[in-house]
DNA sequence: TTGAAAGCGCTACCAA
DNA sequence: TTGGTAGCGCTTTCAA
């Protein structure tokens, strides 16, 4: 910058003012500066700016290990919202343990991120609230309402009810459920299934509820167990699409047709679900949209404004993996 | 830091030395410092460190818009390599145009990233070489060999040959090909298909080569066209898994069985391919591994060492979407 | 409208 | 082994 200043015959202060439009600069110096800066291809050092301004124009995003296409849509949305505001996301993936994630967050704070997005579910709410004293945080998948932190989730319960309702309307009474491991989302989905059954006066058979682990392999295993148990069921409600894929494969292996013999529904609406064989009936999670909301909420928080966001709704998307019986 | 220094009764210089292990610090001050730092929960400001050291310990990664699970494995690998070395990735997604990407790169440079990874293919090699004068770059999907830049790709040609070979060995002679749009990868895959056919003395029917766009929708469309053209074929070679999914759906819609009536192979080995109906025979791209290699290469370049990396091989993974005829 | 100068929080050099 | 101190490249008073 000093170089620019001397070449343009002005002070560094003027250069700065020109760059940021902080104050009027005379037209003469204005054009000279434009010239010199263009010639030198000068770009202000954002590290220095950040140091001075106390803001890195960077946010941290703590995600589950990258790779499932599930949360990538959300990252996409966050990116859209933030990059429009000149922020760049530092994406770090959480790992096995909560301790590990604490460390990643400390690192992000050391980098002086202006805000934090937490997409993982290992950390207790209390700890997040604690961090929020140091940096604004918005978290996904949990209700949170601190002064400097905000958390929300999509309405899994409602969507699960809708899905179960749909199955029941089509005549299904014996519906197996492949559960996810114990997080909030998993519980809400299971509760939606259970309550809807109850509302229709159907006794849920506990033997029809089998554990999964959100993966395809878990789905395969769950269905194998179900089949071996000898229990009868006409439909499978998988707590997520991946498990539904696994379930579908387990059925295929045994030459059980979908949906003629057994119906399947998933949850998430991954991109491939539309192209599965048969296309999977599932619940669409507006992840990209949610990501955008997260970004906007964080921007508000960073600005010191209270944030209020309306949660985008999920909706049932009917395709071809369920038949009326 | 000044606070820590005064509370510990030492100079900031000593604090710095203690923090970085730059010089021996007496045991007495050592323990005092540990204490004070722990009590204050002090974390050095990496922005200031970066400004001083001329290194942000951050790298930039320019990727295609996030969301396809295809390159996420690679991001994962990059993250593994870099975070082990204390670097964090600033992931920005390229957009529609090359101009756009240039701008993103300029932004990354303004943030003083220590290195750059380029995963997109819109930018001409020449331009990348240009940027490499300012920052070390490793690019994926193109051959590059500058002083400060390195680029490599997986051997698409070889893998495509292997795949075509496999089909031919199983008796297929009329093999349709769903192409990708004109990038290097697409060309290599097509060439592998064509050359292998030729090597076996099979005349490739140009009418059997239809354009796709790397998406499922493109695959659906391609197969529809193929079918409408009235041409006969026993197998479909899709230039990527997504197109294979689309092809599979188009067949399903017409009650054409896979692999009994028509065989399909894909390319990429996405996670879901293992769970497709039927599980898809395809070529596995060691993307995560490649990402790790990219990270290591970049680390070398950042260190000013020349980088030499061996490219992980792709391999055929035989599943159930092809039958012998 | 402009320039001089005081830091932002750190590291590393020079002396002690 | 320590402390003092000069910057890293910028923004922003305060005066002119």
Confidence at residue A232, expressed as pLDDT on a 0 to 100 scale = 96
- Residue B316 maps to a domain: no
* Domain match, A71 and A18 both: no
* Domain match, A135 and A196 both: no
The span from the CA of A108 to the CA of A91, in Å, is 9
**Peptide bond just before A54 cis, omega within 30 deg:** no
pLDDT digits (tens, 9 = 90+) for B150-182: 999 999 999 999 999 999 999 999 999 999 997
The span from the CA of B247 to the CA of B224, in Å, is 8
* Domain match, A78 and A168 both: no
- Residue B29 maps to a domain: yes
**Minimal CA separation from A247 to chain B, in Å:** 9
Q: State the greatest distance between any 2 C-alpha atoms of chain A, in Å, as a whole number.
A: 87
> CA B237 → CA A21, A254, B272, distances in Å?
57, 27, 18
* Domain match, B302 and B249 both: no
The span from the CA of B298 to the CA of B312, in Å, is 16
The span from the CA of A190 to the CA of A54, in Å, is 46
* Domain match, B105 and B196 both: no
Judge if pTM exceeds 0.85: yes
The span from the CA of B175 to the CA of B197, in Å, is 9
pLDDT digits (tens, 9 = 90+) for B17-37: 988 888 888 888 889 898 898
CATH number of the domain within which A24 lies:
1.10.260.40
Nucleotide nearest to B45 (CA to C1'): C9
| Residue A141 in tokens | 């998948």
Question: What DSSP line would sit under B8-43, residue for residue?
Answer: HTS-HHHHHHHHHT-S---HHHHHHHHHHHHHHT--
Taking an 8 Å cut-off on Cβ atoms, the answer to whether A47 and B43 are in contact is no
* Domain match, A205 and A273 both: yes
Does any CB of chain B come closer than 8 Å to the CB of residue A51? Answer: yes
* Domain match, A68 and A120 both: yes
Under 8 Å between Cβ of A95 and A65: yes
**Minimal CA separation from B323 to chain A, in Å:** 16
3-state helix, strand, coil in chain A (%, to 5): 45, 15, 40
- Dihedrals φ, ψ of B214, to 5°? 75, 0
- Residue B320 maps to a domain: no
Confidence at residue A66, expressed as pLDDT on a 0 to 100 scale = 60
Confidence at residue A323, expressed as pLDDT on a 0 to 100 scale = 98
> Any idea which residue has 């071996």 for tokens?
A228
The percentage of chain B sitting over the pLDDT mark of 70, rounded to a whole number, equals 98
> CA B42 → CA B1, B12, B22, distances in Å?
8, 13, 18
Determine the distance between A77 (CA) and D9 (C1') in angstroms.
Answer: 33
* Chain B residues within 8 A of A58 when measuring between CB atoms: 90, 111
The span from the CA of A141 to the CA of A147, in Å, is 18
Under 8 Å between Cβ of A265 and A247: no
Residue B293, C-beta contacts closer than 8 angstroms, at least 6 positions apart: B77, B81, B309, B310, B311, B312
Does any CB of chain A come closer than 8 Å to the CB of residue B79? Answer: yes
* Domain match, A30 and A178 both: no
Taking an 8 Å cut-off on Cβ atoms, the answer to whether A47 and B44 are in contact is no
CATH number of the domain within which A188 lies:
3.40.50.2300
Number of H helices, E strands in chain B: 12, 12
* Domain match, B163 and B278 both: yes
Under 8 Å between Cβ of A321 and A276: yes
The span from the CA of A114 to the CA of A55, in Å, is 6
Average pLDDT, chain A: 92
Integer Rg of chain B from CA: 26
Under 8 Å between Cβ of B322 and B264: yes
* Domain match, B168 and B205 both: yes
* Domain match, B118 and B233 both: no
The span from the CA of B153 to the CA of B138, in Å, is 11
Under 8 Å between Cβ of A261 and B236: no
Touching A: B residues 253-292, CB under 8 Å: 270-272, 274-279, 288
Confidence at residue B66, expressed as pLDDT on a 0 to 100 scale = 60
- Dihedrals φ, ψ of A263, to 5°? -95, 155
- The residue range of the domain holding A228 is 156-284
pLDDT for residue A56 is more than 70: yes
The span from the CA of A72 to the CA of A91, in Å, is 11
- Residue A319 maps to a domain: no
Tell me which long-range contacts A69-72 makes (C-beta under 8 A, separation of at least 24): A69/A270, A69/A271, A69/A272, A69/B67, A69/B68, A69/B69, A69/B72, A70/A240, A70/A242, A70/A268, A70/A270, A70/A287, A71/A119, A71/A287, A72/B66, A72/B67, A72/B68, A72/B69, A72/B72
Number of H helices, E strands in chain A: 12, 12
- The half-sphere exposure of A216 on its side-chain side, counting CA atoms within 13 A, is 18
| Residue A283 in tokens | 């619940």
pLDDT digits (tens, 9 = 90+) for B86-96: 899 998 888 76
> CA B304 → CA B134, B301, B307, distances in Å?
13, 5, 9
The span from the CA of A126 to the CA of A133, in Å, is 11
- Residue B73 maps to a domain: yes
| Residue A299 in tokens | 């921007």
- Residue B318 maps to a domain: no
Does any CB of chain A come closer than 8 Å to the CB of residue B76? Answer: yes
- Residue A51 maps to a domain: no
Confidence at residue B68, expressed as pLDDT on a 0 to 100 scale = 67
The span from the CA of A266 to the CA of A222, in Å, is 14
* Domain match, A145 and A291 both: yes
pLDDT digits (tens, 9 = 90+) for B266-309: 999 999 999 999 999 999 999 999 999 999 999 999 988 888 78
- The half-sphere exposure of A94 on its side-chain side, counting CA atoms within 13 A, is 19
Q: Which residue, among B187, B179, B177, has the nearest Cα to B157 in the 3D structure?
A: B187
- Residue A317 maps to a domain: no
As for how many domains chain B has, the answer is 3
pLDDT digits (tens, 9 = 90+) for A89-131: 998 888 768 888 999 999 999 999 999 999 998 899 999 999 9
Under 8 Å between Cβ of A69 and B72: yes
Average pLDDT, chain B: 92
Give the mean pLDDT of B105-134: 93
Determine the distance between B275 (CA) and D12 (C1') in angstroms.
Answer: 61
Under 8 Å between Cβ of A59 and A115: yes
């Amino acid at each position: 910058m000093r170089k620019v200043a001397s070449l343009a015959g002005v002070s560094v202060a003027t250069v700065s003012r020109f760059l940021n439009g902080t104050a009027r600069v005379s037209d003469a110096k204005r054009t000279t500066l434009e010239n010199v800066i263009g010639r030198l291809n000068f770009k202000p050092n954002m590290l220095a700016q950040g140091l001075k301004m106390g803001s890195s124009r960077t946010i941290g995003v703590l995600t589950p290990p990258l790779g499932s296409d599930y949360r990538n849509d959300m990252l996409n949305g966050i990116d859209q919202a933030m990059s429009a505001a000149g922020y760049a996301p530092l994406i770090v993936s959480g790992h096995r343990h909560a301790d590990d994630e604490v460390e990643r967050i400390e690192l992000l704070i050391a980098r002086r991120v202006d805000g934090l997005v937490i997409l993982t579910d290992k950390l207790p709410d209390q700890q997040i609230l604690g961090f929020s004293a140091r940096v604004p945080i918005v978290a996904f998948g949990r209700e949170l309402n601190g002064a400097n932190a905000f958390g929300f989730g999509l309405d899994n319960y409602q969507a699960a009810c809708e899905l179960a309702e749909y199955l029941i309307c089509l005549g299904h009474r014996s519906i197996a459920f492949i559960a996810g491991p114990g997080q909030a989302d998993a519980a809400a989905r299971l509760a939606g299934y259970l309550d809807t059954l109850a509302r229709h006066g159907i006794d849920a058979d506990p033997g029809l509820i089998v554990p999964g682990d959100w993966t395809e392999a878990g789905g395969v295993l769950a269905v194998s167990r179900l089949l071996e148990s000898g229990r009868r069921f006409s439909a499978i409600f998988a707590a997520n699409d991946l498990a539904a894929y696994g379930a579908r494969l387990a059925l295929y292996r045994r030459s059980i047709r979908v949906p003629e013999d057994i119906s399947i529904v998933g949850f998430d609406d991954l991109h491939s679900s539309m192209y599965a064989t048969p296309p999977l009936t599932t619940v669409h999670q507006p992840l990209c949209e949610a990501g955008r909301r997260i970004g906007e909420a964080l921007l508000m928080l960073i600005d010191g404004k209270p944030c209020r966001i309306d949660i985008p709704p999920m909706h049932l998307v009917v395709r071809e993996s369920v038949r009326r019986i």
